[in-house]
Structure 1
Amino acid sequence: MARLLPPESASVEEVAREIGVGAQTLERWRSDALSMPARERAWTAAARFEAVLSTAAMDETARNAWCREHGVYPQELAQWRQAATQALAEPEEARASPQQTKQDQRRIKELERELRRKEKALAEAAALLVLSKKLGAIFNTDKGEDE
């Protein structure tokens, strides 16, 4: 829904195809969203980044005017800029690729399966040990008394 609103303002037909919702439904949702105050509208990550880029070269007066026009506090814009800077400063190697994430999830499932198997084996061994001690106590298998 946020893609339909400024600053991204994607076409209704394009978004309707992407998410599989009728264009009339999207039009109704957009009019509902536009009737809300700008302050309550959601900004997508792409829209926030675009806002940071478009206001980066502006002086403070122009940036404040842009913020008033788009219903954003200058502090929010500064936070978005800081978040974008931090995300870009993070080394690419540190960011997990989708393939790496999938491999990690597969490995976690495998390890959890192995852990469950070992816990069951340990519980079985403990039960056998307890039973063997009880059996020894019942039949009094001490060799010292038989001799």
Structure 2
Amino acid sequence: MSGLDMQVAQKVLDSQPFSGLVGARITAFGGGAATLEVDIRQELQQQNGFVHGGVLSYAADNSITFAAGTTLGPAVLTGGFSIQYIRPATGRTLIARATVVHTGRRQAVVRCDLFAAADDGAEALCAVAQGTVLSARTQ
């Protein structure tokens, strides 16, 4: 049991200055999963009007780490992750849904699907990421 709940998770996210800068929020948390959402706005886009790849990477990294925190506990660090961009992200909201694939004693492997949601709520898959999260607990 991680000892974390949705309210504590949101406080942790709110304590991250960069998360505040992009306006991230946690909309689901627990049971080996976490969902992070970011409203798409002009400041987060690249020159062609698509969400910047760095914003997608941020959302993947953070949702992966939060999902792992539900199984490993609150003291976790990203060990590494990869992301594959499928299509440009446009719309109203960027949604990063992360799910733990496997948890061991000291690390978790997590998958994240990133969607761009349109005004009507329709979601388009725009990237897929996978990461390894390490427990930062002292041994």
TM-score category by the smaller chain? under 0.3
Structure (1/2) with the larger helix percentage? 1
TM-score when normalising by structure 1: 0.24
Query: Larger C-alpha radius of gyration, 1 or 2?
Result: 1
Higher relative contact order (CA 8 A, sep 6+): 2
TM-score when normalising by structure 2: 0.24
